[in-house]
Amino acid sequence: MVFDLTVDELRRRRSVKWRFKEPDVLPLWVAEMDVRLAEPIRDALAELVERGDTGYVTWDGLAEAYAAFAARRWRQELDPGRMFVVPDVMWGIFEVLLVGTDPGDQVVVNPPVYAPFFDTIAHARRRLVEVPLVRDADGVYGLDLAGLEQAFAAGARAYLLCSPHNPVGRVWTRAELEAVAALADRFGVLVLVDEIHGPLVYGPHRFVPFAMLDAAAAREAISFVSASKAWNLAGLKCALAVAGSARGAALLAGMGEEVAFGAGLFGAVANTVAFDQGEPWLDELLVALHANRGHLHTLLAEHVPALRWRP
C-alpha cells in the first residue's frame, strides 16, 4: 500500500515538508506526498548505493522512457532526440528564458500559480505580467482569454502556462488550450508549459499535452516534465525540457551541456525507472488519492459543515 505509514514514521523524514514546521503541525503540501517509494525505483536506487555508484549524472534511456510513457498514457508521439535533461522544471524554465527571450522581455503568468514562477522570472531579469485566473459563480477557475489577448498584444514575448494548474487543480480542456495556442500564434508568443502534474489527473478529466495541439505555437512550445511529483521524487533532481520542433530543439541546445550536469544521477535513474516501470504504482496511487479526497469530503461535512470547498 502506498499510504501505510504512521505519523511517527513520517516525522523521522528529513524532507522540508516534515522539518519546516513545529511537531504539532500536520503539513498538507502539493509538492510532497506521504507515500512509500515505488518498489522498482527503490530497488534501482538501492543498487546504486550498493555499488557506490554516486558519481556524476548520465541519462541513458531517460528520454526514450518518457517518450514511451507519453505514448502509452496520452498517445503522444515524441522524439527523444528533442528532449534535454535539466536539474528540475524551474531551473529548466529559467535557462530557456535566458536563451529564448531578452532581458526586460515580458513573461505572462496566471496567478494564483506556483510561487517559484514569480522569483524565476525576476531572477532571469524578465518582466512579470500577471493575467489572473477568473472564477465563475460556482467557484471554478478558468483562463482569462481576453486578458491573455491584451497581454500578448501589449508585447509579451513568452507565456508560462501551468497545465494541469498548480494550485487550483484545473485540467485545461483541449478547447481552452486551443484558444491559448491560437492567441500565441497570432502574436508570436513563445509558450513554456509546466506539465509536471500531467500524470496526476483523475477521471473523467483528460490531460492534453500542449504539444499535441494542431497549432504552430504548440509545435514551437517547450514543455517541462518530470516524475518528481507523481512518484514523489522531488529531492532527486532531474527533469526534461521537451521541444516539439527542430527549432525548439536548437533553442534548448543553446542552454549548454553544463545545465544537464546539474541534475543528479539518482534523479535520472529514478525518473527513467518511474516512466519505464512505475505505471502500476501510479495507478494504485491515483485510486488511493481519490479515496482520500472522498474521506476529506466526509470529514469536512461532519466537522466543518459551513466550509465550502471544491475538489
Cell of 233: 521524487
* Burial grade of 17 (CB within 10 A; 0-12, 13-18, 19 or more): middle
In three-state secondary structure terms, 142 is strand
Amino acid identity, position 234: A
Chain centre distance of CA 288: 20
Q: Which domains does the chain have, with CATH numbers?
A: 62-277 (3.40.640.10)
Cell of 240: 526534461
Q: What's the pLDDT at 1? A: 61
- Please indicate, yes or no, whether the overall pTM of this predicted structure exceeds 0.85: yes
Half-sphere exposure of 48 (CA within 13 A, CB side): 19
How do the pLDDT tens digits run along the chain, 311 residues long? 677 899 899 999 999 999 988 988 888 887 899 999 999 999 999 999 999 999 999 999 999 999 999 999 999 999 999 999 999 999 999 999 999 999 999 999 999 999 999 999 999 999 999 999 999 998 899 999 999 999 999 999 999 999 999 999 999 999 999 999 999 999 999 999 999 999 999 999 999 999 999 999 999 999 999 999 999 999 999 999 999 999 999 999 999 999 999 999 999 999 999 999 999 999 999 999 999 999 999 999 999 999 988 88
Residue 243 per-residue DSSP state: E
Half-sphere exposure of 116 (CA within 13 A, CB side): 11
Q: What's the pLDDT at 311? A: 81
- The Cα 155–Cα 253 span in angstroms is 26
Q: What's the pLDDT at 258? A: 94
Cβ proximity of 206 and 171 under 8 Å: yes
Cβ proximity of 69 and 227 under 8 Å: no
